[in-house]
């Protein structure tokens, strides 16, 4: 009982968020626009969590996560359309293919450091983009439109366009699973090793970590998570073409995570919420009259947030928490100082 209480208190923020994600879709009624937005928020946050593993925790910036996102999407679409495979199986297959690809490519690429690595990830997704735009098996330049066969209705999760709630909750469940996984990983040996590698390659080696291996583990997990996002995306959007491998798509994952707070499990979801709520607000406010004006204001807002708090929205939260903690610390130090002085106080 005590343990459960502790779980709730320590993660109260997460539970409040979860409650919101459960209640809001019901509260807004049959509002397709809001439901769409929430689904987007969840999908991009989910992929953001994956990106965060390799780029936030492990410190290896990827500008090419669209590659794994796209692989996940294409796998579900191709397997479903051509072989009537259930999306669940398709997503599983997509995860495995993405992880395998991540292993094959990155085992070599991790010899590169910093920006050189980042550009290499971009190169990989651009190469995939070209391949998928000319490969007839996956629809080439026309892309793939997801087929609906009445006799095979159970195939797709998001069947009814007007009522997206079941799909929304499935997406939510998958996001929660990924979130919990990432949080557990952060507090495991893996998470500590990733962060050690991020902070110093040399220290990592000196304390017995094989950086190459742990970076590859991070990338494989990250790719598999991105593939899940891709699988969800294609079921929701019902169409896919090679644009899904573009830098624009990769950058969405980077953006939502960095905006929310890089290296923080809450970062992607907070960033994604802010991103899409602002986006929606802009569109509502300005209507369709001045297309692009919303994006201009949106761009300015991003700049303002970043300039105000370079660590993103979670950085702003941290500031508030830290200020409170500092005050507490000062109060407690005043009392302990007296005793530590007597014992010689070996720390300064």
Partner 1 sequence: MLAQVIVNGILTGFVYSLVAVGLTLTWGVMDIINFAHGDFLLWGMYTAFGLWSVFSVDPIFSLPVTIVLIFLLGYLTYVLIIRRVLNASGLTALLATFGFSMVLKNIAQLVFTANYKNVTNTIFGGDTIKLGSIYIRHDYLAAAIGSLILSLLVLLFINKTKTGVAIKATSINRSTAQLMGINTDGIFAFTFGLSGACVGAAASLMVPFTPITPSSTALYSILAFVIVALGGFGNIKGALLAGLLVGVVESVGGYLLGTSFKYAVIFMMYLIVMQIRPKGLFGW
Partner 2 sequence: MRNIIEIRNLTMKFGELIANEDVSFDIEHEHIVSLIGPNGAGKTTLFNCVTGFYKPCSGQVTYYPEEDNKIDITGQPTHKICKLGITRTFQIVKTLSEMTVEQNVMAGAFLHTNRTSEARELARHILEQTGLTQKRDELGRNLTVAERKRVEIARALATNPQVLMLDECMAGLNQTEIKDVMNLILKLKDSGQTLLIVEHIMEAIMPISDKVVVLSSGKKIAEGSPQDIANNDDVIKAYLGEKYHAKSKKS
Rounded (5°) CA angle 234-65-296: 85
Instruction: In angstroms, give the least distance from the CB of 276 to partner 1.
Output: 15
306 class by beta-carbon count within 10 Å (0-12 exposed, 13-18 middle, 19+ buried): middle
Task: Report if residue 282 touches partner 1, rule: CB under 8 A.
Answer: no
Instruction: In angstroms, give the least distance from the CB of 256 to partner 1.
Output: 10
Going by C-alpha positions, the residue among 66, 139, 134, 58 that lies closest to residue 98 is 66
Instruction: In angstroms, give the least distance from the CB of 302 to partner 1.
Output: 3
Interface with partner 1 (CB under 8 A), residue from 251, 278, 281, 282: 251
Instruction: In angstroms, give the least distance from the CB of 344 to partner 2.
Output: 9
Mark 257-296 with x for binding to partner 2 (rule: CB under 8 A) and - for no binding.
------x---------------------------------
Q: Which residues in 178-207 contact partner 2 (CB under 8 A)?
A: 187-189, 192-193, 195-196, 198-200, 202-207
Tokens representing 141 are 């330049």
DSSP 43-111: HHHHHHHHHIIIIIIS----S-THHHHHHHHHHHHHHHHHH---HHHHHHHHHHHHHHHHHHHHHHHTT
Handedness of CA 175, 181, 187, 189 (dihedral sign): negative
Task: Report if residue 86 touches partner 1, rule: CB under 8 A.
Answer: no
Please say which residue, 166 or 345, places its beta carbon nearer to partner 2. Answer: 345
Instruction: In angstroms, give the least distance from the CB of 210 to partner 2.
Output: 5
C-alpha to C-alpha distance for 207 and 86, rounded to whole angstroms: 45
Residue 40 binds which of partner 1, partner 2, none (CB < 5-8 A, kind-dependent): none
Q: Which stretch binds partner 1 (CB under 8 A): 70-78, 83-91, 207-215, 290-298?
A: 290-298
What are the angstrom distances between the C-alpha of 60 and each of 195, 212, 250, 322? Answer: 11, 11, 14, 27
Going by C-alpha positions, the residue among 54, 163, 152 that lies closest to residue 109 is 54
Q: Are 222 and 121 in contact (CB under 8 A)?
A: no
DSSP assignment letter at 145? E
Going by C-alpha positions, the residue among 26, 6, 8 that lies closest to residue 172 is 26
Task: Report if residue 119 touches partner 1, rule: CB under 8 A.
Answer: yes
C-alpha to C-alpha distance for 53 and 224, rounded to whole angstroms: 11
Please say which residue, 10 or 346, places its beta carbon nearer to partner 2. Answer: 346
Residue 337 binds which of partner 1, partner 2, none (CB < 5-8 A, kind-dependent): none
Task: Report if residue 181 touches partner 1, rule: CB under 8 A.
Answer: no
Residue 347 binds which of partner 1, partner 2, none (CB < 5-8 A, kind-dependent): partner 2
- Radius of gyration of the chain, Cα coordinates, nearest whole angstrom: 22
C-alpha to C-alpha distance for 297 and 225, rounded to whole angstroms: 31
C-alpha to C-alpha distance for 276 and 291, rounded to whole angstroms: 17
Q: Compute how many residues bind partner 1; rule: CB under 8 A.
A: 44
Residue 111 binds which of partner 1, partner 2, none (CB < 5-8 A, kind-dependent): partner 1
Please say which residue, 156 or 245, places its beta carbon nearer to partner 1. Answer: 245
Task: Report if residue 348 touches partner 2, rule: CB under 8 A.
Answer: yes
Task: Report if residue 336 touches partner 2, rule: CB under 8 A.
Answer: yes
Task: Report if residue 286 touches partner 1, rule: CB under 8 A.
Answer: no
Task: Report if residue 28 touches partner 1, rule: CB under 8 A.
Answer: no
Q: Compute how many residues bind partner 2; rule: CB under 8 A.
A: 26
Residue 251 binds which of partner 1, partner 2, none (CB < 5-8 A, kind-dependent): partner 1
Residue 199 binds which of partner 2, partner 1, none (CB < 5-8 A, kind-dependent): partner 2
Question: What is the contact surface with partner 2 in residues (CB under 8 A)?
Answer: 187-189, 192-193, 195-196, 198-200, 202-211, 263, 336, 340, 346-348
């Amino acid at each position: 009982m005590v343990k459960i209480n502790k779980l709730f208190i320590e993660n109260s923020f997460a539970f409040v968020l979860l409650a919101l994600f459960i209640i809001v879709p019901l509260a807004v009624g049959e509002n397709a626009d809001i439901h769409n937005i929430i689904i987007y928020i969840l999908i991009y946050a989910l992929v953001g969590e994956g990106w965060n593993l390799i780029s936030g925790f492990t410190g290896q910036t990827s500008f090419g996560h669209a590659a794994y996102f796209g692989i996940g999407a294409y796998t579900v679409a191709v397997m479903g359309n051509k072989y009537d495979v259930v999306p669940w199986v398709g997503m599983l297959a997509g995860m495995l293919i993405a992880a395998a690809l991540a292993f094959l490519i990155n085992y070599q690429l991790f010899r590169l450091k910093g920006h050189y690595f980042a550009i290499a990830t971009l190169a990989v997704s651009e190469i995939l983009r070209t391949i998928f735009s000319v490969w007839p098996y996956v629809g080439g330049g026309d892309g793939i439109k997801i087929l609906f066969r009445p006799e095979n209705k159970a195939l797709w999760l998001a069947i009814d366009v007007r009522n997206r709630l079941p799909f929304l909750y499935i997406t939510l469940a998958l996001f929660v699973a990924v979130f919990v996984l990432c949080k557990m990983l952060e507090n495991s040996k893996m998470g500590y090793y990733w962060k050690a590698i991020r902070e110093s390659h040399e220290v990592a080696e000196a304390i017995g970590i094989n950086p190459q291996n742990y970076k590859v583990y991070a990338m494989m997990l990250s790719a598999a998570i991105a593939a899940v996002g891709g699988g969800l995306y294609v079921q929701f959007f019902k169409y896919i073409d090679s644009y899904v491998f573009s830098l624009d798509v990769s950058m969405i994952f980077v953006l939502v995570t960095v905006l929310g707070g890089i290296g923080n499990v809450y970062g992607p979801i907070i960033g994604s919420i802010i991103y899409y709520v602002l986006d929606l607000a802009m569109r509502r406010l300005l209507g369709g009259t001045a297309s692009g004006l919303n994006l201009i204001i949106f761009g300015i807002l991003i700049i303002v947030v970043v300039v105000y708090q370079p660590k993103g929205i979670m950085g702003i939260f941290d500031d508030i928490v830290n200020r409170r903690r500092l005050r507490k610390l000062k109060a407690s130090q005043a009392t302990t100082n007296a005793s530590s002085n007597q014992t010689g106080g070996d720390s300064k």
